[in-house]
Amino acid sequence: MSDSAKSTAVVLLIVLSLIWGTSFILIKQGLKVFEPHEVGAIRVSAAALFLLPAALYRLNNLRIKHFGKLLLSGMMGIFIPAFLFAVAQTRLDSSVAGILNTLTPIFTMIIGAILFQQRFRPVAVFGIVLGFAGTFMLMLSRVGGKVEGINFYALLIVVACILYGSNLNFIKYKIADLSPMTITSVALLLLGPLALGYLFGFTRFMQKFGEHPGAWAAFGYTVLLGIMSTATATFLFNRLVKISTPLFASSVTYVMPIVAVMWGVLDGERLYMGHYIGMAAIIGGVYLANRR
C-alpha cells in the first residue's frame, strides 16, 4: 500500500468511526417509537432510496454474474445486520452493543484464514488481542467494573459480526473488479424492494405517526441512520476495503468505542484511568495488527 493510500485509509478509518460511533444512539432513538423490524426496514429503505440514482447509473456496467454476488454481499453486510442490531438493542445498552461489535476483526481474521487462505503474522494476532482487551477495559470502565447487561441478545450481535467478517473478505477477494460505489449502490438497489415491501406490507409503521407524538423525530433519526450509517458509511467502508486489507478495515470497530466514550464526555460523563488505558490499548492494537 502506497503512502498516499495509507493516508487515505487512516482518514477513512477516522471518518467511519465517527459515523458508526453514533449509529447505536440513532438506533436507540428510533426504537423509542418503532419496532426493531421497522427500524431495520426503514434504515435499509432510506439508504436504498438515497443511492438509487447512483445505482441506476451503474447498472449498464454490470454483468449477470455480478448481481448474485452483490445481493449476497448486501445481505451479509447491510440487510441482516440492520435487523439484528435493532432487535439486540431492545435488550442491550447501546454502548454494550457498540463494544460487542469489536468482535468483527477477530471473525475477519478467522474467516480470512479458513476460507481465503490468508496468513497473519504473530504480531498481527497480538494486535487484535490487544485491541479487544482495550475494548473490554472500556466496557469495565463504563459499567463500574462489573460486566453487566450482556445476555442472550448479545448473540445476535455476534452473528452480525460473523456476517461482517465474511462480507469483508468476500468484497476483497470475490468482487474486486467492482468499484466501491457500484458495490454499495447496486447492493442497496437489490435490497430496497425487499425492505420497502416488508415495511409497507407487514408492519404498522405508518400508523405510528398518528399514535405517537415523537414518531416524526424517531423516523428522522432512523432515516439519518440509513443515509449516513448505511449508505454513506458502507460506501466509505467498501472504499477502505479496496485500498487496504480486510483486517485494517475491520479495525474501525475497535475505534468506535472510543467515539462512544467521547460522546459520553460531551454528555457529562467523567473519564477514569481505565478509559485512558483502554483507548491506548485499542490504538496500539490497531497499529500492531496492521503494520508491515
pTM, two decimals, is 0.84
Confidence of residue 235 (pLDDT cuts 50, 70, 90): very high
Give the percent of the chain with pLDDT over 90. 48
For the record, the C-alpha cell of 10 comes out as 487512516
Cα angle 95, 80, 128; round to 5: 50
Whether pLDDT at 211 is above 50: yes
Tens digits of residue pLDDT in 138-180: 666 555 545 444 457 778 888 998 999 999 999 988 998 999 9
Predicted pLDDT of residue 125? 79
- Which residues touch 163 (CB under 8 Å, ≥6 apart)? 76, 77, 80, 81
Q: How far is CA 204 from CA 41, 176, 210, in A?
A: 12, 40, 11
- Answer yes or no: are the C-beta atoms of 70 and 175 closer than 8 Å: yes
Predicted pLDDT of residue 42? 97
Whether pLDDT at 183 is above 90: yes
Tens digits of residue pLDDT in 15-67: 998 898 888 888 989 999 999 999 999 999 999 999 999 999 999 889 999 99
* 126-141 exposure pattern, b = at least 16 Cβ within 10 A, e = fewer: ebbebbbebbbbbbbb
Cα angle 163, 44, 192; round to 5: 105
